[in-house]
Amino acid sequence: MKKRIRKVSDWTVAGLVLSVAAAGVLVGLVALQMVGSRALAPSSVRRGVGEVLQAAGYNLKVVSVRQDDHGDSVYRPGDGYRYVIVTVTITNTGKAPIALAPVVQTSIRGMGASYAMAPAPLANPFSADLLEAGGERTGELSYVVPMSAHDLEWVFEPGAGLASVRVLLGH
C-alpha cells in the first residue's frame, strides 16, 4: 500500500509541476495578448492632425480634434476635466476585413497617463464593427482628460499584426 501511495504522490507532484508550468505559459500568453501591439510602441508611427498615415492594411487620418468643457444635460466631463473629441477616418486598404473596436484599440496619452474612451455628446459617433476590404469609416471618439493635461497624443493599436499609430493632438 505504501508503494501505491508513493506512485499516486509522484503522479500528483508531476501533475502539479505540469499544471504550474502550463499556468505560467498561459499567464505569459495572456499578458502578451493584453499588451498586444503595445510591444510595437517603440516602432509605432507618429503623425499630426490632418496627416494621412499609410500603414500595411489601412490608411488613417485624424481629421480634427476639439475639446468640450461642459458636455450636455446627460454627459458631463466632471469638475476639473474636459472632453477631448477626436474625429478619425480609417480606410481598409487590405484584402480582409478589419475588426474595429475603438474602446479597446484607442486611448489618449499624455503626462505619463492613459485615458480611455468615455461617453460624450457626439454628432457622429464612430461605429465599432468590421470594416470590409476597401471600406472607409469616419466618426468621433471621446475621452475625458484632466483640464491640466497637455502634450496629448491619440493612440490607435489595432492589433492583428497591424502597426500602431500615435497622433500628436497639440492640446
Given pLDDT bands bounded at 50, 70 and 90, which one contains residue 1? Answer: low
Do 32 and 48 fall into the same domain?
A: no
What domain range includes position 6? 2-36
Do 53 and 31 fall into the same domain?
A: no
Do 21 and 93 fall into the same domain?
A: no
Do 59 and 136 fall into the same domain?
A: yes
Do 99 and 160 fall into the same domain?
A: yes
- pLDDT value of residue 157: 87
**The residue to which cell 491640466 is assigned:** 148
φ and ψ at 40, to 5 degrees?
-90, -5
**The residue to which cell 501591439 is assigned:** 37
| 4-44 per-position pLDDT tens digit | 544 444 444 434 333 333 333 323 322 323 333 233 333 45
Do 31 and 113 fall into the same domain?
A: no
- pLDDT value of residue 166: 83
Do 84 and 157 fall into the same domain?
A: yes
Asked if 120 and 78 count as a contact pair (C-beta separation under 8 A), the reply is: no
DSSP code at position 59: E
Number of structural domains, the chain?
A: 2
Do 73 and 102 fall into the same domain?
A: yes
- pLDDT value of residue 61: 92
Residues 154, 160: Cα–Cα separation, whole Å: 19
Give the torsion through C-alpha atoms of 140, 143, 145, 149, to 10 deg. -50
Do 29 and 91 fall into the same domain?
A: no
Do 26 and 51 fall into the same domain?
A: no
| 125-171 per-position pLDDT tens digit | 999 999 999 999 999 999 999 999 988 999 988 887 777 888 888 75
| 109-123 per-position pLDDT tens digit | 998 999 999 999 899
- pLDDT value of residue 69: 92
CATH of the domain at 147: 2.60.40.1240
- pLDDT value of residue 9: 45
- Cα distance between the two ends of the chain: 75
Asked if 88 and 139 count as a contact pair (C-beta separation under 8 A), the reply is: yes
Q: Which residues pair with 98 in a beta bridge?
A: 131
